Structure 1
Amino acid sequence: MPVRVSENSAPSQISGSCSGHTSPPPCTLLSVGQAFSGTQNVSSVQKDEAWRVNVRIQGCDLDHGYLCGTMEALNVPMADTPVVTFWEGEIVDTKNYTFFTGKWEATPEDDVRHWTKFPSFAPLLSQVEADGGKSLDLSNYPYIFMRWKEQYFVNVGTDCGLTIAGFYYVCFSCSDGSINGFYYDPNSSPFQKLELKSSNEGRSGFSFSSYELQ
């Protein structure tokens, strides 16, 4: 979700360096067309604030550790309409991507600090600290870890006063489709929490089909 501090950051592609591992477990709740709804806490020292958020997956390729989608923020105080962004995701599978980000101003220490916010990451911590988790086999792990990076605004201009310079550390539960995430941008409030639940198709508020993605 866009936040209020303007800062430029150019995305780049990285790959993990592990061979012999398989893709994350197939999950019908993590597939094209699936929708999620919830909130992002954008609290700061000055005030407590939560924005309502809708997410829809537009593309998913587990073999290559890739997914993409749209994110809609519904009650952004400075915006006249809901703000929609397009994001691309990296699935941590230790084959295409590891737990270490390697870009977007995130250090290995930042990575560990954010991943450890997820209780489901605890059993993996020692191996990640040793080698970034390259030797882990996550093919049967009940959680899928990802990074989501917003690439552009869909329905507003870049002069809207919001920024998409940061990215999300994301944990997806294969059992119930719940998503938890933490937004990272060194120029924004730390640990802005994203909480989403799987939602039914066609629920009120999901209007992404009206936007043409370039």
Structure 2
Amino acid sequence: MPVRVVESSAPSQVSDFTPGMHTFECWTGCSLAPFFFSPYAFSGTQNVSSLQKEEAWRVNVRIQGCDLEHGYLCGTMEALNVPMADTPVVTFWEGEIVDTINYTFFTGKWEATPEDDKKHWDKFLSFAPFKSQVEFDGGKTVDLSNYPYIFMRWKEQYFVNVGTDCGLTIAGFYYVCFSCSDGSISGYYYDPNSSPFQKLELKSTNEGRSGFSFSSYELQ
């Protein structure tokens, strides 16, 4: 469907949640409400350090929508202090929820092998209880229904506000873990042609049932 992006110059207030909006509460024993109501904002850093230098970008993420039945969610990611870009760089991404119904721990695309998958998931302490089963069958028989963490993959699809000549690549994708207890997100970026294991660390920027975020990107 067509996508229209609207940016506001002032912080946007996230009002009380709309009745009928999907949450993970109906799917998992721990409630992710209000964190995955759409839209919802997170802020933090992505460590992009290389052997040559230490570097981290400030990152804002907004969840724009999710479809639990199909294990899908989407949103925008904004990198604020990218050295080679004159402005913050915004990308639109789509995500896969590892629910062992629609998606398993094995990616099966984006140049990721099962060995790549295991190496990246193994970075999360919360993955440890499933390691042996995932090595056996990709975790197809793992029961995640009452687990206090949600595993996902986020794949950036295109640049929103800059051209492909901005000096960045979106060829890779993120292995992501969401904590139900505090709404924090951690992740690792995978791209065979980029620095390995770039760590993403995000915390919710919304409080209670309402709050404020840095900038607003509305997808319709």
- What TM bracket, shorter-length normalisation? 0.7 to 0.9
Q: Which residue does the alignment assign to 2:93?
A: 87
Q: Is the 8 A contact 1:116 1:122 kept in 2?
A: yes
Using the alignment, how far apart are the partners of 1:24 and 1:158 within structure 2? 38
Matched, 1:108 2:149: no
Aligned length, in residue pairs: 189
The Cα offsets for residues 34-73 of structure 1, whole Å up to 9 and x where unpaired, read as: 1100000000011000000000000111221000000000
Conserved in 1, the CA contact under 8 Å of 2:64 and 2:219?
Answer: no
Detail structure 1 runs of 4+ shifted over 6 Å in the superposition: none
Contact 1:24 1:93 in 2 (8 A): no
2:148 counterpart (123, 129, 142)? 142
CA RMSD of aligned residues (A): 1.4
> Aligned equivalents of 2:149 and 2:65: distance in 1?
19
Q: Distance in 1 between matches of 2:110 and 2:100?
A: 19
Amino acid at match of 1:202: F
Task: Quote the Cα distance in structure 2 between the aligned partners of 1:62 and 1:131.
Answer: 23
Query: 2: CA distance between counterparts of 1:73 and 1:208?
Result: 14
- Deviations 1:130-152 (Å, cap 9, x if unpaired)? 11100011111100000000000
Query: Which sections of structure 1, spanning at least 5 residues, go unmatched?
Result: 1-21
Letter in 2 for 1:109: E
The residue type equivalent to 2:32 in the other structure is C
Q: CA deviation at 1:213?
A: 4.3
Report how far residue 159 of structure 1 moved.
1.5
Report the TM-score when normalising by structure 1: 0.85
- Whether the aligned pair in 2 keeps the contact of 1:34 and 1:56 (CA below 8 Å) is yes
Equivalences for residues 127-206 of structure 1 within 5 A: 127-200=133-206, 201-203=211-213, 206=214
The alpha-carbon deviation at position 126 of structure 1 amounts to 0.8
**Corresponding residue to 1:53 among 59, 64, 69:** 59
Deviation at 1:208, TM superposition (A): 2.6
Which aligned pairs between 1:22-101 and structure 2 lie closer than 5 A?
23-25=27-29, 26-28=31-33, 29-101=35-107
Query: Following the alignment from structure 1 to structure 2, what is the Cα–Cα distance between the partners of residues 100 and 125?
Result: 12
Of 204, 210, 215, 1:207 maps to 215
Q: CA deviation at 1:31?
A: 2.4
CA contact under 8 A between 1:143 and 1:172: conserved in structure 2?
yes
Percent same amino acid at aligned positions? Answer: 82
Structure with more strand by fraction: 2
SS where residue 162 of structure 1 aligns? coil
In the alignment, the residues of structure 2 paired with residue 180 and residue 98 of structure 1 have an alpha-carbon distance, to the nearest angstrom, of 18
- Range with greater deviation from structure 2 (22-31 or 102-111): 22-31
> Shift in Å at residue 30 of structure 1?
2.1
Within 2, Cα distance between the matches of 1:136 and 1:54? 32
1:202 aligned counterpart, secondary structure: strand
> Aligned AA for 2:144?
L
